[in-house]
């Protein structure tokens, strides 16, 4: 009977415990328990009691094994859930990173060549969107709008001239606009006849309006601050091409012109001006007359030498270009006696010496032609009859009149009377 109960208990445990290793451990524990109880008791053990004790022990061990296995299953399930969530998050992260990369860091702008957008003082976010799309030819514009909203671009708009190059990404282009990293541009100061024309030319090239420039040049206090008068303010400008920022202010513009003026009028040129008894403003005034007389650079030092000879001899300059400036009629091709009677301080037929200021903004070549004038004894000149733009020079009035008659004859043949 004891043997049959032991077998029944073992079968019950075997039906619960699935693991072979657990069965072996239970069997060993049962044998050890029976052996220990028989060795410690003085009274011979009862086979039935020993079998019941073994059965209870098997049940306890079986329950413990079941709980442990259920716990292991739960931990495995938790691990599977954790790994699933981790993989899902990783995939979402990869997808998000790919999206961010595509819209922000992948090439998006494809203009045919480097394009430039100009952001003015009255531009808004919407107008900037339109400019960027029109000039940049973006494949996708969504990333640019995301960046603008994230950075609150409407409150950080910076004026300027910005470049968009083929193959650039949204992040780079937006960062340049947001931080104000603009591209410099070439500003050309031309050899023009009037300050109004200068103001219009600069206004077309820069963000500042021509009226702002003209207002500054007509402001007596502003001119005085620069060291010039109304007649001499044109002497400030040295015709050249300069690299500047498109959104420079009026003050920045004039500061740059002063810097370039000081750079041109170095010690060597100042010494040359002093040697011929002229100030830089007087050199500029004479150079403006020389450049109105001829466009031929090799001839300019000759013309300058002629006028310096006249000044030193106390003769009136009698320069026809000053009459055109006095009349503000630069299209005149033939000066008549009526023109010579114009009442103006710029009429060098009536007033000896230099006029009050330059009649145009002379080029560096014209200024250097005066500083390095040709030494000769000519005091007369007349345009050549071949209309080449050069002159016949004479040291006496008789030779001059012969040259003049040849030129008048050519004018009459071409029916040029005014």
Write out the two tokens for 171.
């992040």
Tell me which long-range contacts 326-335 makes (C-beta under 8 A, separation of at least 24): 330/193, 332/418, 333/411, 333/416, 333/418, 334/411, 334/416, 334/417, 334/418
Q: Residue holding tokens 């900037």?
A: 128
What is the number of other CB atoms lying within 10 angstroms of the CB of residue 93? Answer: 10
Residue 186: helix, strand or coil by DSSP? strand
The answer to whether 248 and 226 are in contact (CB under 8 A) is: no
pLDDT of residue 72: 77
The answer to whether 360 and 288 are in contact (CB under 8 A) is: yes
Alpha-carbon gap, residue 360 to 192, rounded angstroms: 6
The answer to whether the pTM exceeds 0.85 is no
Segment holding 160, helix H or strand E: strand 160-164
Alpha-carbon gap, residue 207 to 185, rounded angstroms: 12
Q: pLDDT digit of tens for each residue in the chain (418 aa)?
A: 444 444 444 454 444 444 555 555 555 555 555 555 555 444 455 565 666 666 676 667 667 667 777 777 777 777 777 767 766 676 666 766 778 778 888 999 999 999 999 999 999 999 999 999 999 999 999 999 999 999 999 999 999 999 999 999 999 999 999 999 999 999 999 999 999 999 999 999 999 999 999 999 999 999 999 999 999 999 999 999 999 999 999 999 999 999 999 999 999 999 999 999 999 999 999 999 999 999 999 999 999 999 999 999 999 999 999 999 999 999 888 888 999 999 999 999 999 999 999 999 999 999 999 999 999 999 999 999 998 889 999 999 999 999 999 998 988 888 776 5
pLDDT of residue 5: 40
Is residue 274 packed enough to be buried (19+ CB in 10 Å), middle (13-18) or exposed (0-12)?
Answer: exposed
The answer to whether 33 and 45 are in contact (CB under 8 A) is: no
Alpha-carbon gap, residue 59 to 24, rounded angstroms: 15
Alpha-carbon gap, residue 322 to 293, rounded angstroms: 10
pLDDT of residue 339: 94
The beta strand positions in 33-119, using DSSP E, are: 115-119
The beta strand positions in 288-400, using DSSP E, are: 380-383, 391-394
Alpha-carbon gap, residue 98 to 217, rounded angstroms: 57
Q: Please report how the helices 267-275 and 280-293 are oriented relative to each other, as an axis angle in degrees rounded to 10.
A: 80
Q: 311-336 burial, b if ≥16 CB within 10 A, otherwise e?
A: beeeeebbbbbbbbbbeeeeeeeeee
pLDDT of residue 55: 63
Q: Residue holding tokens 């899902």?
A: 88
The answer to whether 135 and 109 are in contact (CB under 8 A) is: no
pLDDT of residue 107: 94
Alpha-carbon gap, residue 103 to 24, rounded angstroms: 64
What does the longest C-alpha to C-alpha distance in the chain come to? 168
Alpha-carbon gap, residue 215 to 39, rounded angstroms: 123
The answer to whether 261 and 334 are in contact (CB under 8 A) is: no
The H helix count followed by the E strand count for the chain is: 17, 6
């Amino acid at each position: 009977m004891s043997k049959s109960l032991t077998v029944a208990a073992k079968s019950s445990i075997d039906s619960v415990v699935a693991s072979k290793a657990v069965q072996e451990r239970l069997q060993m524990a049962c044998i050890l328990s029976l052996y220990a109880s028989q060795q410690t008791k003085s009274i011979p053990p009862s086979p039935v009691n020993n079998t019941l004790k073994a059965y209870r022990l098997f049940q306890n061990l079986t329950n413990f094994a079941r709980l442990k296995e259920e716990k292991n299953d739960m931990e495995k399930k938790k691990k599977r859930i954790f790994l699933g969530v981790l993989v899902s998050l990783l995939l979402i992260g990869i997808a998000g990173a790919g999206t961010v990369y595509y819209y922000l860091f992948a090439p998006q702008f494809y203009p045919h060549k480097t394009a430039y957008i100009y952001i003015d003082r009255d531009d808004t976010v919407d107008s900037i969107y339109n400019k960027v799309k029109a000039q940049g030819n973006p494949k996708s514009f969504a990333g640019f709008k995301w960046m603008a909203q994230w950075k609150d671009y409407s409150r950080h708009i910076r004026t300027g001239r910005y470049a968009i190059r083929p193959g650039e990404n949204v992040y780079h282009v937006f960062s340049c606009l947001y931080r104000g990293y603009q591209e410099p541009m070439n500003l050309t100061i031309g050899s023009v006849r009037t300050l109004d024309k200068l103001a219009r030319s600069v206004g077309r090239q820069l963000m500042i309006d021509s009226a702002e420039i003209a207002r500054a040049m007509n402001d007596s206090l502003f001119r005085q601050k620069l060291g010039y008068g109304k007649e001499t303010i044109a002497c400030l400008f040295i015709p050249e091409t300069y690299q500047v920022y498109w959104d420079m202010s009026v003050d920045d513009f004039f500061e740059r012109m002063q810097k370039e003026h000081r750079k041109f009028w170095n010690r060597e040129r100042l010494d040359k001006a002093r040697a011929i008894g002229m100030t830089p403003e007087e050199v500029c005034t004479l150079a403006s007359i020389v450049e109105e007389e001829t466009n031929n650079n090799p001839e300019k030092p000759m013309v300058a030498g002629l006028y310096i000879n006249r000044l030193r001899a106390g003769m009136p300059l009698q320069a026809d270009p000053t009459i055109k400036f006095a009349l503000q009629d630069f299209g005149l091709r033939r000066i008549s006696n009526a023109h010579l009677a114009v009442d103006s301080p710029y009429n060098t037929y009536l007033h000896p010496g230099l006029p009050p200021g330059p009649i145009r903004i002379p080029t560096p070549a014209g200024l250097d032609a005066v500083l390095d004038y040709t030494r000769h004894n000519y005091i007369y000149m007349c345009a050549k009859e071949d209309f080449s733009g050069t002159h016949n020079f004479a040291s006496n009035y008789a030779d001059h009149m012969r040259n003049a008659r040849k030129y008048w004859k050519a004018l009459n043949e071409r029916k040029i009377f005014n």
